Amino acid sequence: MATLKDFRNNVKPNWCPGCGDFSVQAAIQRAAANVGLEPENLAIVSGIGCSGRISGYVNAYGFHGIHGRSLPIAQGLKMANRELTVLASGGDGDGFAIGMGHTVHAIRRNIDMTYIVMDNQIYGLTKGQTSPRSAAGFKTKSTPNGSIESTLAPLEIAIASGATFVAQSFSSNLKQLTELIEEGIKHKGFSFINVFSPCVTFNKVNTYDWFKENLHDVSEFEGYDPSNRAQAMMKLMETEGLITGLIYQDKTRPSYEDSVYGFKPEGLANQDVMLSSDQFDKLVAEFK
């Protein structure tokens, strides 16, 4: 059985010292080992941005996609080989700006995979501009007088879009983050996990100390039921999304793969796709 060490490789991350993404990487590696995966059973697809490099820092199949397009690639990969455990990852700019359309449709589609967003409320790779997750009034190079736009609420959007697994954590809480990724992997459907991952270089507002002072865990709310969709939405709005833990889960809805008519359980990867000459000629004739 694989251990944590088996999911490590010799590629040294070039993130800034103190970046929250280090913890996300560690949590993915721990979770993969804890659920009994082998490196050849795991595929990680990432987008563009500092967080996009994570696909090359874990000893597993990795694909570094283009900006905002990690989810289409990851969904195609899962549909082709459903024996793989597929994770997609990226930052808040990658997933909630250029890639927001893909995010919403992946959520409602409910393919059996996990999407981990490293949310630092800023564009870090391009040296510090306002992102969709930056608060109103947030001052950066792109908004020197403060942002006049409201903050995107990804968890509320996810639930409204038909999500079956919504969770949120803080990169400083490695234990909780690891457990949530484990649960996301086990969940039969699309798992969306947002992670507050501070950018220590460019975001001097949403720091580790700021999150420690402002975050609330769902365990603090008496009687909280993650299967109650209305309650989940209410708590998110009451706390302005500053809560961690398993926010919402629907175990009753089947995954996309299990709902597709005629979809073979083994996926495309293990099917015989060889065509006879007669089959090939018939196929070509359809396009004449």
Instruction: Please name the residues in contact with 136: beta carbons below 8 A apart, sequence gap of 6 or more.
Output: 146, 147, 148, 149, 150, 151
Instruction: Please report the pLDDT score of residue 160 as a whole number.
Output: 97
Could you list the residue range(s) of the whole structural domain that residue 241 is in? 4-285
pLDDT band at 279 (very low <50, low <70, confident <90, very high): confident
Token readout for 77 is 């990969």
CB within 8 Å of 12: residues ≥ 6 apart: none
For residue range 208-232, list pLDDT tens digits in order: 999 999 999 999 999 999 999 999 9
Residue 271 confidence (pLDDT) above 90: no
The answer to whether 79 and 154 are in contact (CB under 8 A) is no
Residue 169 CA to residue 178 CA, distance in Å, equals 9
What CATH code is carried by the domain that includes residue 97?
Answer: 3.40.50.970
Which of 170, 277, 159 is closest to 216 using CA atoms?
Answer: 170
Which residues, including other chains, have CB under 8 Å from residue 67's CB and lie 6 or more apart? Answer: 47, 48, 49, 94, 98, 99
Give residue-wise pLDDT tens across range 97-148. 999 999 999 999 999 999 999 999 999 999 999 999 999 999 999 999 999 9
Q: How many domains does the chain have?
A: 1
The tokens of 211 are what? Answer: 């999150």
**pLDDT value at 268 more than 80:** no
Are 154 and 225 in contact, with CB atoms under 8 Å apart? Answer: no
Which residues on adjacent β-strands are paired with residue 133?
Answer: none
pTM score:
0.92
